[in-house]
Structure 1
Amino acid sequence: MFLRGKYLPSVILMDVLHLQCSSCSKNHVAYEQPDKYFVNCGSKDDAKLNGRVFTADSSSVSLCSDSEKSRAIESTNQSRNLYQTARIFYNQSHYEFTIAENGTYIVRLHFLTFSSSVNLSSALFDVLAFPNVSNSGFKLLSNFTAKNSSNSPLIKEFFLGIDPGTFKIYFVPQASSFAFVNAIEVFLAPASFSPENYNSSLPLVLHTTYRVNVGGQKTTPDNDTIWRNWDPDHIFLSTSNSAEDFRPSSSPTLIRQYSVESHGFVGADSDFIAPDLVYLTAKVMTGNIKGLPNPFNITWSFNVSADARHLVRVHFCDIVGQPADIIFNLYSNGNLIMKVGGPDFPFHRPNQPFYYDFVLSSKESEFIKISTGPNTNATTNNSFLNGLEILEIIEGSALCNPPASVCNMKGRKKINVGLVVGSVIGGLSLICILIVGILFGLKYRKAKRVETSEWSPMPAFGGGSTRSRLTDGTITGSPMNYLNLGLKISFAELQQATNNFDTKLLIREGGFGNVYRGTLLNGRNVAVKRGKRDEKGSGQGLPEFQTEIMVLSKIRHRHLVSLIGYCDERSEMILVYEFMEKGSLRDHLYDSNLPRLSWKQRLEICIGAARGLHYLHKGAAGGIIHRDVKSTNILLDENHVAKVADFGLSRSGPLDETHVSTNVKGTFGYLDPEYIMSQQLTEKSDVYSFGVVLLEVLRARPAIDRMLPRDQMNLAEWGMLCKKKGLLEQIVDSSINYQIDPSSLRKFSETAEKCLQEDANDRPTMGDVLWDLEYAFQLQQTAKHREPHEDSTANASSAFVLPNVPCFPSVSSTINTDDLALPRDDELDTTEVEVFSQLRVGDAR
């Protein structure tokens, strides 16, 4: 459906053949990915299904299982199609897939209990997946049985973020039972599905629950470019006579444009989002119906897992009438989600498909109700829906560790005997070398202390050994053998990428070193940060270098700058990041040569940065304190999407348990006064620094300006003083003063004020800050437009209107109204990380 994820390590001796789709239709030509596995389990022969060739697992895939506890079975009717063979497991076993490209992968498991010598319907088992470098996995299916009264295959579909390396799928029988599988698919999802740089210390894992072609017939994999099933919607309608199917008399050509986004709505730019058959049918409202209110809503009801979060994607395409005439509301369990349509709606053309994503929690309820109904401002009482998808978010509660290995060499397929013999001999040699190394190390080993470790002198800058300095030790005295060595980039390639660090490519100079623009051999534009020369071998910048790699190699998020690689050859300390086209937030606030950011852009940038910091504090494993939040460390990509950067001063640890005692580090003007006094670092120190950034965004001036009078020199102190005196308008950047709605300004300034409280206990969490900023954004979005000559501070009370705030309540809510109503505080959904790049609305408290 949508995504971009990451994650994984590699395993022992194996020779995995990549399976390719040998007979794809013309619709699939534009989508050919290197990692594509279609496996016919338990068969010696290949099988075809919907244009895919499923290759026999006995010859092409690495299967790790005790040969006496795994066997292939066939149907008693001797048919050799995909669903008439299976592999059964009497103890835990797994398949291994070599993954070359990180991203979000679609994983499908096929089950059919055909008639055979084994009663497959009695199988009871778990399915685990291990897609990431942390060696932790997720339980995809628990106590699963494949019983199906319809005698049709059960297909379980998942979306997983996977890193390059080896991806494993475990089948674990329960008690005295067994496990089985008929077929497996693993392939990279199209990029248009992916939340850009979806990032988490955990991989993204979604389980498809419903995929519905609203108003149309069942759509089979033959008619879908990535082989999805779309079910008809009539069985989900709460009131069958409230709507009718609609199909144009002549099939129009859909206007699929570039994936533009506006107010959370996104253009469906390709049939990877949904096939034309979905967008060319719809459910529309019928006329006045006896017993139903007028106007009424069309409602679909879906049974879901209780106490779970779900991603919901709704598909729209106006094949019904003039978009300017049809204005309607989208609801979930009676709560307004969003208004759709109208003369100012971004997707105003007929036959133009688009979609909208949001997150819902099911608290103690097992139902999600999705409704559409006319907006009170509509001239036509009508609403429609073309398609709908619901995916359950598999949370941290499903985390699991890999089972103890039961594999022996005879149980692993495709073993190269020569490789095994060579490896044994090589292994003996390696053991001898290790023993000598250990004895030598014991003789010369010296104790090292945290943050005061001494490093042996390095070779002269630019010359000497190419040995890695990161594998020698760390600031804790332990080898950094847990770093992602797959991120290493040679010094020679970086020299070539930057034209030998040409000053013409210099982006900026920083405390750690200079940053250059570069182009890697694969054509990717990157930012190359080269540490300052360390002629004396003191290793002063080494802790920051190591910290940056450790932090960024284990976290990824749309609003955190991604680490592409690093180089530690010779005495070099080089970090390579994704290139941020628009530079830093500070550049756009102060640089007179750059266009001024609008108020809306500034709000979106603050929201993006807050999401990144919120993820660091709560989403990353163990919690991370950035410790140097400032406008120069908030970078903007080509679309002005904000990403937090520079993690050299970061500290890890359980943030909600103890304060971290540490030497004060950071940037003057942004430093938390309580941290300065006590040297006790908490996540609230980041919150204070972010409060300074908020004032910086509002005023467009530095945190410290020594050219100003003493009482205005420190932005935080001056801003708080103006706020208390009710002189807030003095703070606002004059270039955007006319753009800001008073209600939005009030909420924004209150948020900054809360962040800048002297007592850390009085400051909000980053999750609360995020919620408040999103609320300020919605206040701005729903504000009455004012011309530049109008006073932004006048008529503040009359301009205030309740916004359409998409922080969605629990589906257990029983509100049933067509009027705009904000959910209660206790109903607000809490989302730890952003799941879709398109999900712009409030998904965190």
Structure 2
Amino acid sequence: MLHSFTVLLLLLLLLLFCSLFLLPPAEAVDDTYTLPDEHFINCGSKSSVTFGIRSFTGDPFYGKGSKPVQDPKPSGDTPVLYQTARIFRRPSPYKLEMRQNGTYVVRLHFFAFSSSVSLADAVFNVSAQLNASAPLLLLLSNFTMKNSNESTVVKEFLLTIGAGKFLLYFIPSQISCLAFVNAIEVFLAPNGFVPDYATHINLSGIKGNYSGLLSNVLQKAYRINVGGPNITEETDTLMRFWISDDQFLLFPVFTENRQTTYDELKFVQRGANGSTKYIAPESVYGTAKELNSTNSSKKFSNITWRFKVDEHSKHFVRAHFCDFITPSLNYPGLNFCINGNFCQLISPYETINQLSAPFYADFVVDSGKSGNIDISVAPPKDERYQIAFLNGLEIMQLMENSYSSFVPLRPEPKKKILFIIAGSLGLAFAFIIMAVVMIRLVRKKEDAVEIPRLPSSLAFPGWSENDMSTARTVGLGLDLELRIPFAEILQATQDFDSKLFIGEGGFGKVYVGTLHGKKVAVKRREPGYKQGLAEFQTEIMVLSRTRHRNLVSLIGYCDERSEMILVYEFMEKGNLRDNLYDTNGCSKPNGLSWEKRLEICIGSATALHHLHTGSAVKIIHRDVKSTNILLDENYTAKVSDFGISKSSHSDLTLDNTIVKGSVGYLDPEYFMSVELTEKSDVYSFGVVLLEVLCARPAVINSPQKEEVNLADWGLFWLKKGQLEKIIDPSLVDKINPNSFRKFGEIVGKCLEAKGSNRPTMHNVLWDLEYALSLHTGINREDAGESTTNISLQFGLPVLLHLPTSSFPVEENEQSIVGNNGSDTSASEIFSQLKFAGPR
């Protein structure tokens, strides 16, 4: 009896083991699948809307740096889904909760309507994080709708996503500072929807195996309904859009369309390649393109489709078949060919063993230099059967190793941040702390006693506050003729009315006012601002002793009642930075022309050259930046803010042990050595030149480390010979290539690591004048130079190489701009000199 029980147990185990082989393979598609109801998002709207066969719910996004926008004047045929969008001004993620692991369909909808912003101007990346520990994958790079021939673009991807948080990051580029999306779909695909392996066809047509499909991002390139019309989202089982194949046919005259009724189709899941309605809908398998044998010849005994794809990349190709054409299963099959050098016999009998039963075949195909993939179907070698057909075709690009350089910023505990900073900076951090302590002590002294009082031994009985103020002024060596009574300041600014407030800086708040019938800018020192008495004194001394048409004019000052007030000529067009980009760091669409920018640079360089060499005392500005270059009503540049300037004269010499300047503009050599020279101004001016060219701040908060500092970013592209990639979009095709090349050379020289290798402002001024002449087409026949006045076509090496020679003037020769502030411009004198080429 025990023996019988053992035999019975062995039989049961045998049956169980055999049943494992009778089960469908793991790759078989799940025929019990139904389309999920999440995540379908109507971006930028709180309302749900029906689109296709799904309802898109209201936007759940509440992240910072984004806002919803609406099409103010939608066209009557624009779907409601595309009448709203969410825009992003900084990198922000959509956070979605995935319930289970699997292959997901991800679709991003874009429709570029115009509202308060033009969505067509957006340039951005999209990255995806599949789970909390996974690196970010780059889905879209520098995507824009600007030059799109289609009003609506839907980008589709297949991703293997784990259960938990799934993040989609929209990352505006520095070009536009804008990203957007109208709708998002993320839903679970049927089980086995994409295999992990497929037949691999290389460029030589050699057949191999490709494994690891599920570990890559697949992006849809083409989805073709062969032999039938377009299929919309409303009728497809997975809301896909299929287009007709006619535009891709090479020889359509040798083909004909065939069609059958849906009742005849038999979805039979036999083997790994038996299809379902979710693999492709009935409307795909119910139509076909067949070879018209009556019109064909041996030369054209096939049907060929050609598809343009990315060069040197891999593509997942899925061909759909349904044999409702041959009368019996005796048909041996057809040859399915790729790129003319690989063919495989596709036999409906061997694959599915039933007529009118849909099935498919998968391949991974390499594309070459041509960027073409040719797909053909041809009759078998058996001449009794001249039949070849195809029902549908899908091509998806494999985005192998497509990792994003974007690194999400994760807030760290303050203690941890301080520990990391302290450990990495070491002695430099200690030096900074010492400098901060010294500054705080100075501030404390300034706030307690705004203007130094004369010793009591010097005070005489009966002296008024004004008398004491006068004595203090004389003690500081300031020009008494520039003093303005406080009462006049109050009248000019209407008691510092908040409505007249126009800005603030390191010294204090700035108001616009009217003094003696003239519009003026009034800068008032207030406690808490980093600049104080020393800067107040230096500003007055510099501007009272140095006059120039490209230096802002000091109208006067006031030091009554412990006040420190500076009054300047009013600059109608504000500062240079505000004319280049907005507060978000985004370039202005209708910004300054290239000619105007060069003229502003020349004016600024003229002022700095005058400070360095054009007076009895050499003055180093020490804070050259775009906000310190002001523009009058004619856009004439005037350098301002001399509070931290340093001079060879003893009464303007500040503490040499304290490095001063602005982040992003500060000369690294000066920072390391604490030795200030006029070449530090040259470096800072080089950063300003890049600002002028790129229309972006000197420092930005970017996930790309190399992009944070404009000087580093500019030198990176300059060394690659591709500086045009980061210029202000409004300048594209509007710069003479020779002028652009020369300007790039100037930038590179100014930003040299060693000050000794940088040019003087005299040389910079000369080269800027030369760059302007190249752009405007001034006749330089006397110079033996010829310029080509053509628009700059970026990406092409059309820049003319121009010689560089020395300008025959000694460094200590008198400035080309008179010390008395003559109106004779540098360009006027430039045109009179014997031209000897750029410096």
TM range, normalised to the smaller chain? Answer: 0.3 to 0.5
The higher radius of gyration belongs to 2
TM (norm. structure 1) is: 0.41
**Structure 2-normalised TM-score?**
0.42
Return the structure number with greater helix share: 2
